[in-house]
Structure 1
Amino acid sequence: MRVLFVASPMVGHVLPLVPLAEAFRDAGHDVVVATAAEGADAARKAGVPVHDVAPGVRPARVFAGPLLRHPVPILRMVAGDTGTEGVGLMFAAMTARLAGGTMALADEWRPDLVLHEGLAPVGALAAARRAVPSVLVDALIYDGWRLYTAVTSHLDRLARRLGVDPLPDPADTVVAVPPSLAGERRGRPMRYVPATGHGDVPEHLARPRSRPVVLVSRSTVADPRPDRMMSRVVQAAGNADVDVVLVRPDRAAVRRPLPPNVTTTDWLPFAAVMPHVAGVVHHGGSGTVMTALAAGVPQVVVPGAGDRTLHARLVAARGAGLAVPDKEITAATLERLVSDPSLAEAAREVAAEIAAMPAPAELVEPLAALAGRDRAAG
């Protein structure tokens, strides 16, 4: 059977699909991930087959159009508004940009089943065009159905142009977010598995230390502005009884000499490294939140654009971490992160909850059956 996975062309949107793509591949199915730009690079590095459906696309340029036409809702989203109007407009433009290449791939490759993330309903369009079932993979913490609806509400003209009118709902949903974090959702539960980050742990992190280690990670989304979060952590760290490791620091954070307890590193295999650290401070991206939770590691989440503010609130509400604006990070914040037993206990509880969810391999058979049922009905 041929299974097509479709994601928007950003690292954080592609990687949640990779474990399920690997599971289908390992079960003997033919798999292709349709995406572009840095998302395509991420999928290649993860070792799954990729088709670039929009060569040369630059997400920032695609999103610039909606920003110029609809500045108010999109700027609200950038400011941390957790509504879906802005994101719907932005990713409707991205869907239109990816549509040509995705439809061409679907027509040529003829998949039997299409799985896609909530902000890539171009996958659902391709499935409908080929008259095969689609599955929504809800793995971005923010409710995947709300994201899907926010984008598809702007796609009527595109759907008609592609001969898909009306656009049918996905045949099924996979939910990779633990209920205690974000509530019960409709769909098949699936264990969150970090798509990358498995590898050797650097010796300096593997060996025992006299002080707890805190990782600090910024977004994988390119941003020319200085990372205030990292700079603020550096300022606070000198007075904190912790060792801080800055992962891929920006220039502003390391412009001046660092305190003795602060070091830097390039990319790290997070899934392997997390069990060796006492806490994580990060930008609030879904992948980092979930990787820390799966490892049972407390986290400080800095609220930010759109869903990052929601992520910070959810982690804090669950008790598995703290929601702290970058300007409010202090030495006390870092020390509480690694010493508060309630944070550690809640993080371990969520890790156990995630581990108890079905592995991606367990979903292959029931999802593949959708295609078989669809062929039988046809």
Structure 2
Amino acid sequence: MRVLLAATPGAGHVMPLIPILNAFRAAGHDVAFAISDEIVVPGLDSSVRRFTKAAPRFPVCPYPHGPERTAWWVRVNAEMAWASYLSTLEIIEEFKPDIIVRDSAERGAYLAAEVLRIPHVNVLVGAESVLNPYIERERLISEPLRKSLGLPEDPSGSTQIPLGIALTHPRFFGGRADLHPYSTFYCVDPPAEPRETDTGRPSVLVSLGSSMTVPHTRFAHRVLTGLLRDDVRITVAVPDHLRHELVEEFPRADILGFDDLSPHLEHADVVVSHGGFGTVRAALHRGIPMHITPFWSDQFLNAECITECGAGLALPWDSCSPQELAESVLRVVRESTFRNAAHAFSEDAHALPGAEECVRDIASII
């Protein structure tokens, strides 16, 4: 079977698809990835066939909340969806896939699949994409485009997400579990490895992703300034172009570029992050508690869910002095209730079907 995976331009949208891509390859299927050339993808096998897809990048929204953000979101995403639709048509013509697997924000591949009547599934890579309000927001974008392409209306979103691959556990959402009926939950992360713990010298992993909405340097400065006053092992992952400056200023810390964090997660006692869902999922599925400082979009939801399930704490950016941030992070390390809650979540997540079952379920719709 020929499988085309497609993602919108953003590492947080691309990277959750990699375990699914690897599972398709392990099952002997012919796979290709349609993503922007500008996206760096740590952990992606260089032998995977890669097609260049528009749009090249996702712009930064100037409105964190409110009606202005909604209007901007609809306009920009509609423009990106159309550019993606046109480039995906060309990729389909060359690769001739039997099925398309796309991330939840990759609307161009969805439209191309509908027009050409190719089976497709949606990988719900963000927490909010599993919730019913997400479907309604998606309709704001997709319905005018569907109409312009001569496709019938889709009021329930049943064609938009005929099979939603959700990469977390339903209990992540706690009391706000307004889950749409097309979601099927899987755990594609490896089980937690036994970790050697050193309660006297905790290990902190700081993952700040690549999103331009995060003030990477200032955030890293506050974390490092606060935590390096204590006897703490600290590893910080920032965009590649910011690494050199931090290496010179903080020689006692391990400063990474935009990298595959899997090896570093094995040794972490806590993960400090802005709350991108990929990092949240990776930490929780390994039983590692978290500390989140959200900046926009679903990061606020992720922070609320983490605190509600007891697997970590959240601290607003405005309250993040170096001392307050360090004290809050070390509280997550030292109080066993956070670690226990994260471990319990990991056990629940790994009771879900894994990547092999996910691939079999996707293939079954053809």
Q: TM-score range by the shorter chain?
A: 0.7 to 0.9
Check if 1:316 corresponds to 2:311: no
What residue in structure 1 maps to residue 141 of structure 2? 154
In proportion to residue count, which structure has more helix? 1
TM-score norm. by structure 1 comes to: 0.80
Using the alignment, how far apart are the partners of 1:146 and 1:3 within structure 2? 29
C-alpha deviation, 1:105, in angstroms:
1.7
Deviations 1:159-215 (A, max 9, x none): 344343435333222111111212554322211327xxx9xxxxxx98979511111
Q: Give yes or no for contact 2:126–2:298 (8 Å, CA) kept in 1.
A: no
What residue in structure 2 maps to residue 75 of structure 1? 63
TM-score norm. by structure 2 comes to: 0.82
Using the alignment, how far apart are the partners of 1:316 and 1:207 within structure 2? 23
Superposition CA RMSD, Å = 3.2
C-alpha deviation, 1:8, in angstroms:
0.2
Using the alignment, how far apart are the partners of 1:255 and 1:286 within structure 2? 27
Name whichever of 112-121 and 245-254 sits farther off. Answer: 245-254
What residue in structure 2 maps to residue 53 of structure 1? 53
Check if 1:104 corresponds to 2:90: yes
Deviations 1:278-326 (A, max 9, x none): 1111111111111111111111111111111111111111111111123
Q: Give yes or no for contact 1:33–1:50 (8 Å, CA) kept in 2.
A: yes
Using the alignment, how far apart are the partners of 1:47 and 1:319 within structure 2? 41
Using the alignment, how far apart are the partners of 2:2 and 2:296 within structure 1? 36
C-alpha deviation, 1:38, in angstroms:
3.5
Distance 1:208 1:94, change over 3 A: same
What residue in structure 1 maps to residue 246 of structure 2? 254
Deviations 1:249-279 (A, max 9, x none): 747973984485x443445542222121211
Match of 1:354 among 339, 349, 353: 349
Distance 1:360 1:89, change over 3 A: farther
What is the DSSP-based 3-state SS (H/G/I as helix, E as strand, rest coil) of the residue aligned with 1:281? strand
Unpaired segments ≥5 residues, structure 2: none
Match of 1:172 among 150, 158, 163: 163
Aligned-residue sequence identity (percent) comes to 26
Match of 2:126 among 140, 144, 151: 140
C-alpha deviation, 1:364, in angstroms:
2.1
Check if 1:230 corresponds to 2:220: yes
Deviations 1:3-54 (A, max 9, x none): 2222101111011112112212222222222221334755855653221122
Distance 1:110 1:265, change over 3 A: closer
Q: Which amino acid aligns with 1:243?
A: R
Using the alignment, how far apart are the partners of 1:331 and 1:253 within structure 2? 21
Aligned residue pair count? 346
Pairwise mapping of residues 1-378 of structure 1 onto structure 2 (< 5 A)? 1-39=1-39, 41=41, 44-45=44-45, 48-54=48-54, 57-60=56-59, 75-77=63-65, 87-144=73-130, 146-166=133-153, 168-183=159-174, 185=179, 186=181, 187-193=183-189, 210-222=200-212, 227-248=217-238, 250=242, 254=246, 257-258=249-250, 262-267=253-258, 269-326=260-317, 327-328=319-320, 329-371=324-366
Using the alignment, how far apart are the partners of 2:152 and 2:90 within structure 1? 19
What is the DSSP-based 3-state SS (H/G/I as helix, E as strand, rest coil) of the residue aligned with 1:137? strand
Q: Give yes or no for contact 2:214–2:295 (8 Å, CA) kept in 1.
A: no
What is the DSSP-based 3-state SS (H/G/I as helix, E as strand, rest coil) of the residue aligned with 2:350? helix
Using the alignment, how far apart are the partners of 1:122 and 1:97 within structure 2? 7
C-alpha deviation, 1:224, in angstroms:
9.2
Using the alignment, how far apart are the partners of 1:170 and 1:331 within structure 2? 42
Q: Give yes or no for contact 1:119–1:148 (8 Å, CA) kept in 2.
A: no
Distance 1:4 1:179, change over 3 A: same
Q: Which amino acid aligns with 1:287?
A: G
Q: Give yes or no for contact 2:311–2:342 (8 Å, CA) kept in 1.
A: yes
Q: Which amino acid aligns with 2:304?
A: R
Distance 1:123 1:152, change over 3 A: farther
Q: Give yes or no for contact 1:92–1:152 (8 Å, CA) kept in 2.
A: no
Distance 1:305 1:177, change over 3 A: same
Q: Give yes or no for contact 1:117–1:136 (8 Å, CA) kept in 2.
A: yes
Q: Give yes or no for contact 1:299–1:321 (8 Å, CA) kept in 2.
A: yes
Using the alignment, how far apart are the partners of 1:291 and 1:259 within structure 2? 27
Using the alignment, how far apart are the partners of 1:254 and 1:40 within structure 2? 21
Distance 1:157 1:59, change over 3 A: same
Distance 1:177 1:90, change over 3 A: farther
Using the alignment, how far apart are the partners of 1:239 and 1:76 within structure 2? 33
What is the DSSP-based 3-state SS (H/G/I as helix, E as strand, rest coil) of the residue aligned with 1:155? helix
Q: Give yes or no for contact 1:119–1:147 (8 Å, CA) kept in 2.
A: no
